[in-house]
Structure 1
Amino acid sequence: MRDALHRLTGERLVETPNHNGFRVPILSEAALRDLYQWNGLVLGLAAKRLETNIESNAIEDGGTLPDIAASTAALFLSVAHAAGSVELAITVRSLNDRLATARRAEVATLPAMTEELSGLATIVAAGDRTALASALTRYHRRRIGAVAAIVAHLTRYRV
């Protein structure tokens, strides 16, 4: 068990404050903003390197909270895979894990998530690198602008 927790610490999914036990990190506004910026940079790089068109079935019907968070992770991972880089895919998978709770909180704080994700999936499926890069920039700017509300929701409800 301890080895698993140390591995999760290395992946930054848990932390050990003062080496006194393990806990899930509580994201500050600055930390979440930084994660969104890093995610945007990584996905922007993947968009520029897109090698294949992607048939995206990452969007599931219903648009419920876990579906949108999981669908977003699946869509972004498919973009990384289509860029033809194992390292990009590994990095996106790690970012997906670290942003999972924030993505669930986004649903409660940002309107029209299903439409936004559907639009991204359409662009991804078309394989248009330029349009995808622009859409990903808008996606991340929207979240960076809402960081305070997302962190407030995370703090209030411990999503």
Structure 2
Amino acid sequence: MSPAHVLEPTYDTLRRRLLMGAWPAGQRLEAARLAADLGVSITPVRDSLNRLTGERLIVSQPGDGFHVPRLDEAGLRGLLDWHHAIVTMALGRERAGRPDEFQLTGGDLPERSAHLFASLVARARDEELDWAIENAAARLGRFRHHEAAVLAEADKDVGAIERMMDEADSPGLRAAIDYHHDRRRSAVDQLIAASRGGQII
């Protein structure tokens, strides 16, 4: 195992690149090339790739190396549905009392989305749900980077939920979350094409 002072920055860099969609779906991730690019030895790169495999951010098969996952339409719909189910479950379990005040975050649309849904789920005060939404958001990250190009005014869906955060478990908040989910679910073919570097229709 690599020392933490080398492993953690290596892992963080690779994870951030995956979430940003730096590599297209199906891309083979060669440890030696990544190590040279990052200026580290191959050991922390391999350790990081194995850790990312455990998080399902990349896939690995014996003799075939590490690859960026290649989701089909059913796979992406399933991931979107899982994300939606986590948020819905958290809303139903929200603890009594005044929820933590929601703090808007800067950044691009994927960062805003991840922060928004993590904040919603955090109100349930359930560590399992916190981990699940963080992992689902990470796996959706490379698709979220294409939402603005694929969906007209995608930022307005996120903005509507942000504005309703102080309404807690209101029907309006749930409706806005459902609308956000349905729009992305209906565009999975375009999101997949964009993540593969294909032409967006």
TM (norm. structure 2) is 0.70
Decide whether the 8 Å contact of 1:47 with 1:132 is kept in 2: no
**Does structure 1 residue 86 correspond to structure 2 residue 127?**
yes
**Does structure 1 residue 4 correspond to structure 2 residue 48?**
yes
Q: Deviations over 1:35-62 (max 9, x none)?
A: 00111111111112223434333353xx
Q: Deviations over 1:61-92 (max 9, x none)?
A: xxxxx611001000100011111111111100
1:117 aligned residue (134, 151, 158): 158
In structure 2, what is the Cα distance between the partners aligned to 1:18 and 1:107? 37
In structure 1, what is the Cα distance between the partners aligned to 2:63 and 2:138? 23
User: Where does residue 81 of structure 2 map in the other structure?
Assistant: 37
Runs of 4+ in 1 over 4 A off after TM superposition: none
Q: CA deviation at 1:29?
A: 1.2
**Does structure 1 residue 106 correspond to structure 2 residue 152?**
no
Q: CA deviation at 1:154?
A: 1.3
User: Where does residue 50 of structure 1 map in the other structure?
Assistant: 94
Flag the structure with higher helix content.
Answer: 1
| Superposition CA RMSD, Å | 1.9
Decide whether the 8 Å contact of 1:54 with 1:124 is kept in 2: no
TM (norm. structure 1) is 0.87
1:133 aligned residue (174, 177, 188): 174
State the AA in 1 paired with 2:190: A
Greater RCO between the two (CA within 8 Å, min separation 6)?
1
State the AA in 1 paired with 2:101: E
Instruction: Structure 1: state its 5+ residue gaps.
Output: 61-65
State how many pairs are aligned. 153
In structure 1, what is the Cα distance between the partners aligned to 2:153 and 2:101? 23
**Does structure 1 residue 156 correspond to structure 2 residue 197?**
yes
Q: CA deviation at 1:98?
A: 0.3
Which has the larger Rg? 2
